[in-house]
Amino acid sequence: MKRLGVVLALVGVGLVLLSALLPGPAVSGEGPEAASYGRALFQAKGCTACHLHREVSPGAGVGIGPELTEAVFDPAYLRSWLRDPASIRPGTRMPNLGLSETEIEALIAFINYEAE
């Protein structure tokens, strides 16, 4: 189990470094544009390694983290969680991805987005 934690941490660090190559969005806030950028980040940051989300990769993920397809979270909670997961739940397996504020807002838009 300890080995899995080390592997997840290394994967998280690698994904953070790789995601630095992603261009920032030309959108901010809520709506389909922000949700679309959040969807791309959800894949690029490696969220699908642990989380399931029907809009990204049906059947992917290992279920370590919660299923997020139907999830709607308080945006303030998600901001805190995505900024520093260990400050919310010490010992969590969720790595700190070093997300920018723009990336955090886009991920919130994607996770909480409901198409009309």
Measured CA to CA, the distance from residue 2 to residue 105 in angstroms comes to 32
State the pLDDT at residue 116.
41
Q: Do residues 41 and 106 touch, judged by C-beta distance below 8 A?
A: yes
Tokens 């709607």 label which residue? 72
Measured CA to CA, the distance from residue 114 to residue 98 in angstroms comes to 26
pTM for the structure as a whole: 0.71
Amino acid at 75: P
Average pLDDT on 13-40 reads 65
- Name the more confident of 36 and 27: 36
Which burial class, exposed, middle or buried, applies to 3 when counting CB atoms under 10 A from its CB (0-12, 13-18, 19+)?
exposed
Q: Tell me: the pLDDT tens digits for 34-90?
A: 899 999 999 999 898 888 888 886 655 566 788 888 889 999 999 999 999 999 999
Q: Domains (ranges, CATH) in the chain? A: 2-112 (1.10.760.10)
- Give the tokens for residue 29: 């806030």
- Name the more confident of 6 and 37: 37
Measured CA to CA, the distance from residue 87 to residue 66 in angstroms comes to 18
- Give the tokens for residue 47: 């969220």
